Amino acid sequence: MKQRPSFPARLATGGGPVQGGAGRRMEPVRPGGPMPRPALAPMLRADSAGLTSDATAVRHAMVRKLAAQGIADRAVLDAMAQVERHHFVDSALRAQAYEDTSLPIGLSQTISKPSVVARMIALLREGQPGPLGRVLEVGTGCGYQAAVLSRVATEVYSIERLRALHEKARENLRTLRLPNVHLLFGDGMAGFAKGAPYAGIIAAAGGENLPQAWLDQLAVGGRVVAPVAGAGGQALQQALVVIERTPSGLRQTLHEAVHFVPLKSGVA
């Protein structure tokens, strides 16, 4: 794997070309097998103001619910147990931080449900015996998913097109001191070629097609996990799609219906 680029970095504002075609439907694959569990030391920050219950107990209760819902990847569950979601939402919403619901983070954007974050990362890791290599996240948002990814990948490159959210994520992640997380401001539809090839690409926004740049930057054996509009046969419906690059080409698997904000090009 080539040497990682220096940071900080700013991406070009132009969007990459897109690829059409939906591929064939396949049965969902069961989550990957267990891997050695990392230490459960939580990602601590200065305070827990606004959270009315013991944060650790409530967070671990959330993780038990995720396991009961079918998340079987131990590494993903451990990562969800380590990252304090209440530090990534506004103080007025911290009492709801460990409910399985999306919450507003400003600029008409949301932090995804814990179950959706866990599900998408589990799909990204499926079949991996150990940590993922380099991962590209499109849509940093408040930085929560990047923090979870940092626990299951060697490096995380996270791109955000909205400057205000990029700055919010920088502030949220600053005190966590995650040396393997690199935050980028730019057009996520173009990917980040300097960090490629990626073992995984995960998107927090959905369009009708996946940008060709993402597929071009995917390593052999790597996966893209993203919502795609119309993937379930209806123009306005989104579904999770997994694209895997095999030695013989691309393979697509269609999963459950989801709802994400639209994928857009450019920066704002």
Q: pLDDT tens digits for 163-215? A: 999 999 999 999 999 999 999 999 999 999 999 999 999 999 999 999 999 99
**What whole-number distance in Å separates Cα of residue 197 and Cα of residue 233?**
31
Catalytic residues, by residue number, are 112
Query: Which amino acid is it at 165?
Result: L
User: What pLDDT is recorded for position 23?
Assistant: 35
Work out the mean pLDDT of the chain and round it to a whole number. Answer: 84
Residue 2: pLDDT above 60? no
User: What pLDDT is recorded for position 94?
Assistant: 93
Residue 198 exposed, middle or buried by CB count within 10 Å (0-12, 13-18, 19+):
buried
- Residue 152: what are its φ and ψ, rounded to 5°? -125, 5
Contact 256, 240 (CB under 8 A): yes
Q: pLDDT tens digits for 143-159? A: 999 999 999 999 999 99
Q: Is the pTM of this model over 0.85?
A: no
User: What pLDDT is recorded for position 48?
Assistant: 42
More confident residue, 132 or 233: 132
What residues does each domain of the chain span? 18-262
Q: Which of the four pLDDT bands, split at 50, 70 and 90, describes residue 234?
A: low
Q: pLDDT tens digits for 170-179? A: 999 999 999 9
**What whole-number distance in Å separates Cα of residue 116 and Cα of residue 146?**
14
As a whole-number percent, the residues of the chain with pLDDT over 70 amount to 78
Measured N-to-C along each axis, helices 55-68 and 74-82 cross at an angle, to the nearest 10 degrees, of: 160
Measured N-to-C along each axis, helices 114-125 and 74-82 cross at an angle, to the nearest 10 degrees, of: 140
CATH architecture of 18-262: 3-Layer(aba) Sandwich (3.40)
Picking from 32-46, 48-62, 231-245, which range would have the lowest pLDDT averaged per residue? 32-46
Residue 227 exposed, middle or buried by CB count within 10 Å (0-12, 13-18, 19+):
buried
